[in-house]
Structure 1
Amino acid sequence: MLARTTASRVLSRTSAAAAASPASLLLAQTARRRAAASAFSSSALLRDGAAAGGGLSRTGLYALHKKLGAKLVPFGGYEMPLTYAGTGQVASHHHVRKECGLFDVGHMVQHFFSGPGAQAFLQKLTPSSLSSLAPFTSTLSVLLNAQGGILDDTVVTKHADDRFYVVTNAGRRTEDLAWFESQLAEWSKNEAGSKGEVKHEVLDGWGLVALQGPKAADVLGKLLDGSVDLKALTFGKSAYGKLKGVECHIARGGYTGEDGFEISIPPEHTESITEALLAIEPTQPAGLAARDSLRLEAGMCLYGHDLDESVSPVEGALAWVVGKDRRASGDFLGAERVLKELKEGPPRRRVGLLIEAGPSAREGSAVLAEDGQTPIGVVTSGIPSPTLGKNIAMALVANGSHKAGTKLKVSVRNKIREAEVAKLPFVPSKFYRG
């Protein structure tokens, strides 16, 4: 969701990285992340206000956030709630894990791709097996550039072979829309005649809220009119249902590792439906601070930190998004690099780290071999885990140092601290699967 470099700079960096050795790549990456960490606030949540060029946008819930006493910060070009009055980040985090929290994610970009060529078009841009998805089923995927780097991570929901609902990150809006425009123009010129035209629509102004936690289904069920059977709506499935008589798109999933729903709401009803959900106990509003610690415990990536245009899906521990049939066909952008890394292994891999007590490692902290001297990677995200009571982090480390249980060192505030590679997620996911 955060982007701190222009597309052209990142693409040139990616091309150079392809020719560099793994060691030099990791050293350069560490230097970049250290520079970023010193140039911006230490909190990852406050680093992308400049992306809006000084003019921040607001979601349809801005007035409600003010009413609820939210601390608003720049994020993805928007003024977004970090925390709410009377509830700190840790308390909000625990409430989502134990009860139910409601997040405004209306800064995310919602798209529809429709037409006879929609499926083939999206299968060119992503490595996912969209043709095998059942109607109203979602998958996490990635948009790839020609070099196999990740332009953005995305959730793709198939409504039909000729209609897809796609959600992308706010901080990548400019890059993503430009990419879609260029790819659609190329498609119209070279592919539409044989594979079908594609229409792209951006749902600007539409609300998007995430209801997350073990009580989320109970809360949503009290507002639904009975048009959706939540017991049948398992993780990764979606449906249209009416909330207060308003048809909304309801997808089971989220960014916390808990059971939950992401609900797309027509602009004129976003505030009233959100208020109605908040009025149902035990729902509480939750902000970016809790969302970040929840997603990190769940082992989920934050674009611009754990992923960028230099990182491939194999390096990013997202090889599973590359469908078996797509591996066989190789007919997606960046396939040459991705397929090579699947076969031979990538130069680096995203891993989880458990780090000894003390100050937590932050983005840009150097990861060292067990000797405490040899640089082998860089921390991409790090926090003290509210659930575990331990310091956790994600990092990109040299291939071979990625296996769970591997002993490493991390430089935190110029002190060398013990670390160990841990399996992701740090906290077991509780997705509802029926």
Structure 2
Amino acid sequence: MLPRTLRLTCARTALPRTTTKSVFTIAVRKYTSPAGVPPVELKKTPLHDLHVAAGAKMVPFAGYSMPVTYADQGLAESHKHVRTKAGLFDVSHMVQHRFTGPAALPFLQSLTPSDLSKLLPNTSTLSCFLHPVTGGIVDDLMITLHGPEDFYVVSNAACAEKDLAYISENLSSFPRRSEVEHTVLDGQGLIALQGPESMLILNEFLLHCLGDTASCPDLKKFLFGQTMFVDSPYGKLHVARGGYTGEDGFEISIPKEHTVAVTKELLEIGKGDRVKLAGLGARDTLRLEAGMCLYGHDLDDSTTPIEAGLKWLVGKDRVAEGGFHGHETISRQYADWKQVPRRRVGFTIEKGAPAREGAEIVDPATGEVLGKITSGCPSPTLGTNIAMGYIKSGFHKAGTEVAVKVRGKTRQATVAKMPFVKANYWKGE
């Protein structure tokens, strides 16, 4: 199926101001409709039937039916398998975009704080769409430069409707709107191969596809943050080195009609316990150990990149030049930490029930509420409770002793540096 090109019109759409939340943290959240309202029919990824055949527990997530765990392994087992071998995640629910044309760069730079002009061809950066007034995060994104007038963007499925309205709203008022074309790649599947065995497994897959070593890219020279296209029997594959687990890995965009075949081929290569399907449960615990945010929980429209600990994605030259949404607020916070009322930090929490989203963080001496937990779980790798959340500036330094309220009881907690588990991104030998 060919990509569906959206030639966005100039009709204005009201910019949504509400936070879109996904339905899963660690335990599956209930996905229900109001009384008397029929449930929404869930969308299916190209791999839906494969998940069902593998004994997956399917749950509603961002409007899709998605696997949370599989019959052959529990959440902790799946998590540890990714840390030690490799896991294969279906992320086809994510929204893939292309922004092309002579004004694609200035348009994206008007919406984001990143200096995209400094991206090298076939490299990626984390970035975010920003609220035009507050500088709050409308959605977090991966942006890849393919060419001077060609950007590939991956955004969150839970924010799909909001993001499309946001893009349309801003493109309609952009002075060079006729020089930007926005395409939603709804003809593409997307999978993530993650874990220390992922490079060897992908290398075997490419050898099988391309037939000889000379035709295969040298994955040892293909570094974290880089992308490439591979012409294969399964069509043109877009391979990005990175992921959402803190481990080495790859995200592979595949023509929809070949997504099942590519996934089965990778599973066949990794059979015998090298690679296993992994679901939302392991994806969430892995990303939390890696200190990564989940939109709608750790990030939302009221949170600036500086508050969220993402100052590094704000370009220094962009701050000086301005011209992007929310630049006054973000530039003020960038220059002076006193302008930042709260910080996203990590926590380790004493044994017992973990602190989940919404748990209050308090000063153990005075009882003053200092903030709230936004994500939390027992860490399968560390064997202790971990969490992240926002805390009042001044209490944000690693080692600070605080308390959290869990199930009506006050529990000891310590501010901790993130990531909780050291990242294993491939940056060369």
Alpha-carbon spacing, 1:221–1:414, altered in 2? closer, same or farther (3 Å): same
Equivalent residue, structure 1, for 2:55 = 69
Instruction: Pick closer, same or farther for the CA change 1:53–1:204 going to 2, 3 Å.
Output: farther
Match of 1:254 in 2: 243
Is the counterpart of residue 373 in structure 1 residue 373 in structure 2? no
Take 2:218 and 2:346, find their aligned partners in 1: how far apart are those partners?
Answer: 36
Please state how far the C-alpha of 1:270 moved relative to its aligned partner. 0.5
Q: Higher mean Cα deviation, 238-247 or 390-399?
A: 238-247
Matches within 5 A, 1:285-364: 285-345=277-337, 346-364=340-358
Q: Shift of residue 186 of structure 1?
A: 1.1
Q: Name the SS of the counterpart of 1:46 in structure 2.
A: coil
The equivalent residue for 1:10 is: 18
RMSD: 2.0
Q: TM-score, normalised by structure 2?
A: 0.89
SS at 2:220 equivalent: coil
Q: In structure 2, what is the equivalent of residue 168 of structure 1?
A: 155
Q: 1:57-114, CA deviations, whole angstroms, 9 ceiling, x for partnerless residues?
A: 1100001111111100000110000001121000000000000000000000000000
Equivalent in 418, 421, 428 of residue 415 of structure 2: 421
Matched residue SS, 1:279: helix
Distance 1:350 1:241, change over 3 A: same
Match of 2:176 among 191, 198, 213: 191
Structure 2 residue runs without a partner (length 5+): 1-13
Contact 2:95 2:156 survives alignment (8 Å) = yes
Determine the C-alpha separation between the residues in 2 that align with 1:288 and 1:182: 32
Q: Please point out which of 232, 244, 248 is paired with 2:221.
A: 232
Rounded Cα–Cα distance in structure 2 between residues aligned with 1:387 and 1:49:
33
**More helix by proportion, 1 or 2?**
1
- Shift in Å, 1:42: 7.7
Partners of 1:304 and 1:248 lie apart in 2 by: 30
- SS of the aligned residue for 2:219 comes to coil
Please, which moves more after superposition, 322-331 or 265-274? Answer: 322-331
1:87 maps onto 2:102 in alignment: no
Amino acid across the alignment from 2:258? H
- Of the candidates 14, 29, 51, which is equivalent to residue 46 of structure 1? 29
Count of aligned positions: 398
TM-score under structure 1 length normalisation: 0.88
- State whether residues 298 and 426 of structure 1, in contact with CA within 8 Å, keep that contact through their aligned partners in structure 2: yes
Alignment of 1:97-246 (within 5 A): 97-146=83-132, 147-187=134-174, 190-192=175-177, 197-224=179-206, 225=210, 226-246=215-235
Residues 176-201 of structure 1 show CA distances to partners (whole Å, capped at 9, x for unaligned) of: 000111111111xx234xxx700000
Unpaired runs of 5+ residues, structure 1, are 1-5, 12-35
Percent identity at matched positions?
Answer: 51
Distance 1:101 1:296, change over 3 A: same
Question: Could you say what secondary structure the match of 1:379 adopts?
Answer: strand
CA distance in 1, matches of 2:349, 2:85: 28
Deviation at 1:251, TM superposition (A): 0.1
Residue of structure 2 aligned with 1:389, choices 383, 391, 396: 383
Question: How far did 1:327 drift?
Answer: 1.3
Contact 2:306/2:334 (8 A) holds in 1: yes
Following superposition, the deviation at residue 247 of structure 1 comes to: 1.7
CA shift, 1:426, in A, is: 0.3
Residues 59, 205 of structure 1: 8 Å contact kept? no
Distance 1:44 1:328 in 2: 43
